[in-house]
Structures are given as C-alpha cells and as structure tokens.
Amino acid sequence: MNGAEMMIRTATQAGVEVCFANPGTTEMPLVAALDATTGMRAVLGVFEGVCTGAADGYGRMTGRPALTLLHLGPGFANGIANLHNARRARTPVVNLIGDQASWHLAADAPLTSDIASLARPVGWVHEVKGAHEVGDATAKAIAASMGPPGQVATLIVPADAQWNEAQAPPAVMDRPELPALDEGRIGNLAEAIRGADRVVVLLGANGLCEAGLRAAYRLAASGCAEVMIETFSARIERGSGLPDFPRLPYFPEQASEALAGTTHLVLAGALSPVAFFGYPDGESRLCPAGANEHCLALPGEDIAGNLDALADRLGADAHPELANAPRPEPAEGPLNPASLGRTLAALQPEGAILVDEAATTGTAYAPFAGAALPHTTLGLTGGAIGQGLPCATGAAIACPDRPVIAFQADGSGLYTLQALWTQAREQLDVTTVICANRSYRILQVELARAGIAEPGPKAQSLTDLRNPEISWTHAAQAFGVPGTRVETAEAFADAFRHAQSEPGPHLIEALL
C-alpha cells in the first residue's frame, strides 16, 4: 500500500468520511487513493476557500474533521481565510497539502514555497518526512484536530511520501478524557458571586449547545446571574423552547456599556471579552476595571456540567419555566433589514441550520431569531469574510436531512461565490438569501467612526458596490443554481417558501 492509501485508510478508520478537494499534480496519489479505498466521499470545490469553509461548516455540525485536499502553497493560501474562521471557531479540520517530492524541493521549481510558514498561523502543522510515517502523521493530525478544543491541523505531504510504499500502520491514538468537574473551585466561585451586585455569565464555544443554554438559564431564572452570549459564536442552538440571551454587542463602547457595573464576570466557554478592533483612545479589554473575572470553563471543557454544578451550589431551580416570545409574523411592504429579518425568522423551518454572514443586515434579524422555530446558527467567528456560502455547503453535506439557510451579505458573499457550484453539483438543500445593499455597509459605518463624516470620492468608491450593480441571480445561474430577485417582503416570503418546497439549492437576491 502506498503512502497516499495509508493516509486515506487511516482517516476513514478514524471516522473521517468527507474530503473537500481541489487537488493538483502533487496530490495525484491521494486522488487515486480516494478510489482505491472505500468510505471517503470526495467533494470538489472550484476554489480552495470553498473547500476550507465547507470543512469548517461540516466540522461544526458533526464535531468530526473533514479532510481538505489542497495544492501546494498557493492552493493552500486560497483556503487560509476560512481556516482562520475555523481556528477561531475551534473546528476540527485536517488539511492535506501535497508538496514537491522531497528530492525536488531544493530545485525551487516555480510552484515551490514555504508552506509551513503559511500554515502555522492557522494551527497545528506537521511536515511529513516520508512514506514511513504517513500513517502516524495522519492519526496524529486527526487527534490534534479533535482537541478538545478542536483546531485546524495541517499535514504537508511530499509527493514521494504519497507514492512510495508505506509499511508502518498508524499508532493508535486515544482521545483524551475531559477532566472531572473541580467541585472545590466551583464551590469557591459560588461563594464569590452569591449575592454580589452584578454577576454576568458570558457563555460561549460549546457552552452554546442546548444543555449549556439550559444550565445557564437556571442561573438567570433564579436571579443568580445575568447571562450574555459571546459576540461571535461558532454554533448556537436557538428558537422557541430554548433560552434566549442577549449577545455582547460588537462595537466596544456598546459592549462596555452592556457590561458596566459588573462586579463578577464568569467566563463559561467565552474568552475574556476584547474589542474587535482598537480605535483611537479606545481600550482592548471590555471587562470593567475592578470587576472580578472568573473562568468557570474553557472552550472544549464540559461547560454545561460546570454551569449545572454552579447552579446547584447556588440553589437555582433545576427546571425553570421558559417564557417564549411568540413566533414572528412575516412582514409586509418594502424590503429592508428589519422586514427581511422578521420574515426570515417567521418562515425558517424547524431544524434549519442558519449560516449567518449577513453582517450589518443580520443585526436586524437577530431580535427575531429567538422566537423562530428551533434551529442552529453558525456564525462568523474570525471575521474573515467569505465564510457563509462555503460553510453552508459543508453544513449541508454534514446534515443532509436538515434545511440549510445561507443568510449572506452581498459584499462578503462575492469572496467565495464559487460555493454555489458545489451546492448545485451535490444538489444540496441550501437556500441562499443575499442581502443586497450593494455596499460594504460596515465600512461606511467604520469610516464614520474614524471621524470621516463626509468620505471623499475614493473612500466612497472603495465602500460602494454599485457601478456596476452585481446581479446575483445571474451569478447563481452561472453556477447552476436557480435564482430569484425580490424587492418586497411578500415576494421574499413567496420565494423563500418556494425554495423550501423544492429540493436542491436556491438563491434569493433580496434587494435592500
């Protein structure tokens, strides 16, 4: 068995089932190995950012890594932005990157470059030394990706390590067990916050599962603490029947205001909150000066278990009643962020996976989402735009029985619109809603925040996507996805219902 087959077999034996691929010449043995072995699905992306974003969406939904198969340094580079998002989401992803044959590296052929230097900023990296270690290296990469917490793991595999004979089977990798709850520490925390002025639990990471939300709600309902959600979350369960908490605002002055007066900030999966960007005279840290910051549980730990134990210590009701807002009604009249958001929340089906890269338009949807039917939301964790369409693609591969909604800002969507083709090829049940405000609206806001009240013509041109207007319906058609343009809430509702009634991908361009 050659090295490439050993790698794919090791991966399938570890439970890896999907490879999002855009290979080249230095990956040909791995391509052949996909056919020579059984159990690995190959999904082609026609741009690498599609592959990596799909692996991110897949990993968020399954908790297991997908492979990506990418071509040398430049091919990998095209996937880095979405790997940055995966890194911040702590998603397990395993990248296989072919490299020049080991004996050919010194020749510095045109496509040769320092791949490891490109890969280190997104996570764990191993440069495979030869076919003798490909099994071990693959097993270690998969284990590294799984964490907990999850991470991006990259194997750089010279072509000769793929085509040469591999002898050694992989080492057996045991998954580390989560540490038991530290009752002493939880007891001390309970004493510290009992009866304190303003206790805020900041919930994040895998704490945003149903069990984590319910455990946090015990604290909130009993008055032990307020609960807030980290600003950008990898995955959260939302909708009727689930607790709904406010999110820590994006802009630092709003976030500071939301946290003002906090005497105890309890981190449950969330990191210590910091500003997304620094501004002149701004600050990095958002926790109020003088507040005590406590870490209840780190990302990847048993956040729900820790919260439940804390709630027990504080004597919180084990089964508090939920007061759910009524499901929103579809809006009428012209489309704007609010009418679009309300109508989407009203119509999104039960069990939907909503990938939220709606940027400024998404803020108007957020207040309605908690009362929508139960669903899962995947967010933009790393701020690297172009995540939504690929992530939706991967989520749909992971969960073929669940409808997927890509709620997508137009400017961001342009980065990786090639994902539509993979959706069409695989006939994925994805409804893409393009929020067509024809601008980088967030940058227009940021220009104003930077004190540029009246941007000059160049600044205006760099934040404006008219001239020419982009036709998303034509883009969808180009890639084999039926597309519709709508200008009213009623037309959006009709188009959305139609998309839900048919299998396969659809795109709705919502003119705002």
Contacting a copy of itself within 412-451 (CB under 8 A):
414-415, 417-418, 421, 424-425, 442-443, 446-447, 450
Q: Which 215-254 residues touch a copy of itself, going by CB under 8 A? A: 232
How far, in Å, are 69, 140, 144, 259 from residue 55 at the CA level? 11, 18, 16, 35
**Alpha-carbon span 13 to 445, nearest angstrom:** 49
The strands making up 353-357's β-sheet, listed across from edge to edge, are 235-238, 375-379, 353-357, 404-409, 430-436, 506-511, 483-486
Strands of the sheet with 226-229, listed across from one edge: 226-229, 199-203, 264-268, 292-297
Binding test (CB under 8 A) with a copy of itself, winner from 383, 400, 497, 502: 383
Binding a copy of itself (rule: CB under 8 A), the pick from 36, 171, 192, 295 is 36
Q: Say which residue the tokens 């041109």 belong to.
A: 461
Q: Is 350 in the site for a copy of itself (CB under 8 A)?
A: no
The nearer residue to a copy of itself, 170 or 413, going by C-beta atoms, is: 413
The sheet with strand 152-158 has its strands ordered as: 41-44, 18-22, 66-71, 93-99, 152-158, 123-127
31 binds a copy of itself (CB under 8 A): yes
CA distance readout (Å), 123 to 118, 153, 230, 257, 386:
10, 6, 22, 34, 20
Candidate ranges 26-34, 56-64, 135-143, 174-182; the one touching a copy of itself (CB under 8 A): 26-34
20 sits near a copy of itself (criterion: CB under 8 A) = no
In angstroms, give the least distance from the CB of 385 to a copy of itself. Answer: 8
Nearest distance in Å: CB 133, a copy of itself: 19
Up-side HSE of residue 414: CA atoms within 13 Å toward CB?
A: 12
Using the rule CB under 8 A, is 280 a contact of a copy of itself? yes
* Residue 366 lies near a copy of itself (rule: CB under 8 A): no
Reduce the DSSP state of residue 274 to 3 states and report it.
strand
Q: How many other CB atoms are there within 10 angstroms of residue 315's CB atom?
A: 11
Q: Is 159 in the site for a copy of itself (CB under 8 A)?
A: yes
Q: Is 39 in the site for a copy of itself (CB under 8 A)?
A: no
Closest by CA to 83, choosing from 173, 431, 41, 75, is: 75
100 touches a copy of itself (CB under 8 A): yes
Q: Does 465 bind a copy of itself (CB under 8 A)?
A: yes
Nearer to a copy of itself, 221 or 396 (CB): 396
**Is the distance from CB of 34 to CB of 369 less than 8 angstroms?**
no
Token pair for 484: 């519709």
Instruction: Tell me how many residues contact a copy of itself (CB under 8 A).
Output: 101
Where do runs of H (alpha helix) occur along 98-146?
115-119, 134-146
Give the one residue of 15, 25, 188, 350 binding a copy of itself; rule: CB under 8 A.
25
Q: Does 339 engage in binding with a copy of itself (CB under 8 A)?
A: no
Binding to a copy of itself (CB under 8 A) within 249-278 occurs at 274-278
- Which one of 22-30, 147-155, 197-205, 219-227 is the stretch in contact with a copy of itself (CB under 8 A)? 22-30
Answer yes or no whether residue 108 interacts with a copy of itself by CB under 8 A: yes
